[in-house]
Amino acid sequence: MAGDRPGGVTLVAVLAWISGALQIISGLFQILPGGGNFGAGVWAIILGIVTIIVSLGLFRGSNVARIIVTVIFVINIATGIWLMTVGSFWTGLFSALFPLIGLLLLWSKRANAFFS
């Protein structure tokens, strides 16, 4: 890891960490009695844990974490484009816009120096 972590990388990492924490909380509510779907709750908890681990990797400058987040962002962008074509234009636009901004932040010149 070369130099200080760029603010854009920190932003993406913090948002990923928050997302993971919210997934875990959501999963816990789902597995509690009356919560609805036990299987979905367990899956949400697992996904939340993985998301937090990846976010910690971003904080530390792990290129593997950056590649994992990139794959997820590309899938989100593709989903957003698909949504725009099937009639949910604004939902699709925002679904694609935020991951695109995240990609730009993770692959900027400063971010490349940080992850090298």
Question: Which string of DSSP letters, residue by residue, matches the chain?
Answer: --SSPPHHHHHHHHHHHHHHHHHHHHHHHHHSTTSS-HHHHHHHHHHHHHHHHHHHHHHHT-HHHHHHHHHHHHHHHHHHHHHHHTT-HHHHHHHHHHHHHHHHHHTSHHHHHHH-
Give the model's pLDDT for residue 1. Answer: 45
pLDDT band at 3 (very low <50, low <70, confident <90, very high): low
Give the model's pLDDT for residue 35. Answer: 75
